[in-house]
Structure 1
Amino acid sequence: MCLGIPGLVEEILNSEPLERSARVRFGGISKEINIAFVPTAAIGDYVIVHVGFAISVINESEAKRVFRYLEEIGDLEDLE
């Protein structure tokens, strides 16, 4: 099964269109993520990330709902 995880964009690292990347926080960890597929993503936005690529921007309430669900099923620890 494939699963996209929400993360918070903390910093834009590269703004070149095809190489656009950002530091994205997932719970207690941060990772460098390619955000070329979501050109409107900005610092403070939540994005859905799948295998290192942000694939969509979502609102904060939706991101928190997904985090609550992951916490309930015990998969949130796997992100750390």
Structure 2
Amino acid sequence: MCLAVPAKIVRIDDTIAEVDMAGTTVRASLVMVPDAKLGDYVLLHTGFAIQVLDEHEALETLELFKEMEMIPETT
């Protein structure tokens, strides 16, 4: 089973971004989504942003993950 997770781009350096994934910052390749920009939500899979998401859709998905206890609550 594969899982892709919404993450928010918080920094971009060429084709590498730092993304916030439920409070954890990780590096992600933007090679597959060259139009992604700072502040966008992307669908992250194995270190690659594979799709730019609508913010509402991304937040809704993250909320569902929280309800399924896949993402810990943050304060």
Compute the TM-score of the two structures, normalised by the length of structure 1: 0.86
1:25 aligns with 20
Unaligned runs of 5+ in 2: none
Letter of the 1:11 counterpart:
R
Unaligned runs of 5+ in 1: none
Compute the TM-score of the two structures, normalised by the length of structure 2: 0.92
Give me the whole-angstrom Cα distance separating, in 1, the residues matched to 2:22 and 2:69. 13
What is the SS of the residue equivalent to 1:71?
helix
Letter of the 1:21 counterpart:
I
2:2 aligns with 2
Give RMSD over aligned pairs.
Answer: 0.7
More helix by share: 1
Letter of the 1:8 counterpart:
K
Aligned length: 72
Q: CA deviation at 1:28?
A: 1.0
The counterpart of 1:59, out of the listed 51, 54, 62, is 54
What is the SS of the residue equivalent to 2:38?
coil
